[in-house]
Copies of this chain bind each other. A is one copy, B any other.
Amino acid sequence: MYFLCYDVGGIDIKMGIVSENGEIIGKKIFPTDATRTPIEIISDMLHRARLLINEVNMQKSDISAIGIGLPGLADNNSGTAIFCPNIFWHDVPIRDYIKMEYDMPIFMLNDATIAAIAEHKTGACKGARNSITITLGTGLGGGFVIDDKVYEGSFGGGGEIGHMTIVPNGKPCNCGNKGCFEVYGSVSALIKSATNAATIHTDSMLAACMKDAPLTGKDIIDCAKAGDATALDVFRLYTYYLSVGITSLINIFDPDIIAIGGGLANAGDFLLSQISIEPNKRRVFNMLPPVKIVRAMHSNDAGIIGAAMLCAQKLHDNSNKLSQCN
């Protein structure tokens, strides 16, 4: 079975034809250009799909379903992109638009949730019963796979762990609340506190790094690895807050495994060891086997692979519902 898969981002849209096993048959990336109307963007997505299907010598009839990851709140029940602030979408009936050209099952979810199903089915969490994938980036996203099925929430809003409060009345978050996990645990948060520290500690390696260009997550990790005291302080505080959030998730979910994705995961063991030990020590039932905290396997293709895994799961669920034994 093959699926037409999209990973819609604020800057670009990744599109692929992906098999039910996660094999990518063909893929393209093109600009989102969010100044266009939703219908213009969707028309462009479909136009480019026709070209891609042709390019890989397939027919439209070879495609069994369409899967879409969206950067915001996507309700698979109604087939609507409810709220995607980066691309200015609000209540866009995306399934209805696509149905006019592709009369086949169309599934959609939030992109962080889609990344979680990619890791669970074909990545770092393969074989687990319950897994969490945390994506550290501009924001802090998350997704759960529970009993081998992706968790959507009642209205498509499940998995917003970035907006779990970890400091009551703490730093303000873009969401309007205060003290959200995202404000302490995202890469943006790390960069912000490193920039502040470098401004104070002008003789630090971190400050030297900042002379020519704004700091990146990689700069901070590199300085900390090199033993710069300022970078290490910033990094320790950052991993402390990450550990606080991860401990809560372990106590709430009792998962087998947690995968950490996003560019910062390239720091590897330097980061993972810091956010594995404390949460496992502090979990309420610390007599249980430790939760593995690992690096996510998929990077840029997580979105289209996850969208294919979503299609496979949903078609399987639907066929189970239909094939009742008599």
Which of A17-25, A157-165, A196-204 faces chain B? A157-165
Asked if A214 lies at the interface with its beta carbon under 8 angstroms from chain B, I say no
> Which residues of chain A in 69-103 are interfacial with respect to chain B, using CB atoms and an 8 Å cutoff?
73, 82-83
Q: Determine if A168 and B253 form an interchain contact, defined as CB atoms under 8 angstroms apart.
A: no
Q: Determine if A247 and B289 form an interchain contact, defined as CB atoms under 8 angstroms apart.
A: no
Q: Determine if B287 and A82 form an interchain contact, defined as CB atoms under 8 angstroms apart.
A: yes
A129-B154 contact in complex given A161-B252, A164-B252, A248-B164, C-beta closer than 8 Å? yes
Residues of chain B lying within 8 A (CB to CB) of residue A147 = 149
Q: What is the total number of copies of this protein in its complex?
A: 2
Asked if A37 lies at the interface with its beta carbon under 8 angstroms from chain B, I say no
> Which residues of chain A in 34-68 are interfacial with respect to chain B, using CB atoms and an 8 Å cutoff?
none
Asked if A175 lies at the interface with its beta carbon under 8 angstroms from chain B, I say yes
Residues of chain B lying within 8 A (CB to CB) of residue A73 = 285, 287-288
Which of A152, A155, A159, A289: most chain B Cβ within 10 A? A155
Q: How far is the CA of A125 from the CA of B165 in the complex (A)?
A: 25
Residues of chain B lying within 8 A (CB to CB) of residue A324 = 325
Q: Determine if A166 and B165 form an interchain contact, defined as CB atoms under 8 angstroms apart.
A: yes
CB nearest neighbor in B for A288? B155
Residues of chain B lying within 8 A (CB to CB) of residue A288 = 73, 82, 155, 157
Which of A83, A152, A288: most chain B Cβ within 10 A? A288
Q: Determine if B130 and A153 form an interchain contact, defined as CB atoms under 8 angstroms apart.
A: yes
Interface residues on A, range: 35 or more
> Which residues of chain A in 136-172 are interfacial with respect to chain B, using CB atoms and an 8 Å cutoff?
146-147, 149, 151-168
Residues of chain B lying within 8 A (CB to CB) of residue A153 = 130, 253-255
Q: How far is the CA of A165 from the CA of B166 in the complex (A)?
A: 7
Q: Determine if A176 and B83 form an interchain contact, defined as CB atoms under 8 angstroms apart.
A: no
CB nearest neighbor in B for A278? B177
Q: How far is the CA of A147 from the CA of B286 in the complex (A)?
A: 28
Q: How far is the CA of A288 from the CA of B162 in the complex (A)?
A: 18
A168-B165 contact in complex given A254-B158, A255-B153, A285-B157, C-beta closer than 8 Å? no
Asked if A323 lies at the interface with its beta carbon under 8 angstroms from chain B, I say yes
Asked if A104 lies at the interface with its beta carbon under 8 angstroms from chain B, I say no
Q: Determine if A285 and B164 form an interchain contact, defined as CB atoms under 8 angstroms apart.
A: no
Residues of chain B lying within 8 A (CB to CB) of residue A282 = 176-177
Residues of chain B lying within 8 A (CB to CB) of residue A175 = 284
What is the CB-to-nearest-CB distance from A6 to chain B, in angstroms, rounded to a whole number? Answer: 21
CB-defined interface of A278-295 with B at 8 Å, one 1/0 digit per residue? 000011111111000000
* 9 A-B pairs in the complex with CB atoms less than 8 angstroms apart: A73-B287, A82-B285, A83-B285, A157-B285, A158-B253, A168-B244, A175-B284, A176-B286, A177-B247
A residues near B, CB below 8 A? Answer: 73, 82-83, 128-130, 146-147, 149, 151-168, 175-177, 240-241, 244-245, 247-248, 251-256, 282-289, 323-325
Considering the complex of A and B, which 5 residue pairs feature the smallest CB-CB distances, nearest first?
A153-B254, A157-B254, A164-B248, A163-B251, A163-B284
Given contacts A82-B287, A158-B253, A160-B252, 6 further A-B contacts (CB under 8 A): A73-B285, A154-B255, A154-B256, A155-B254, A165-B247, A176-B286
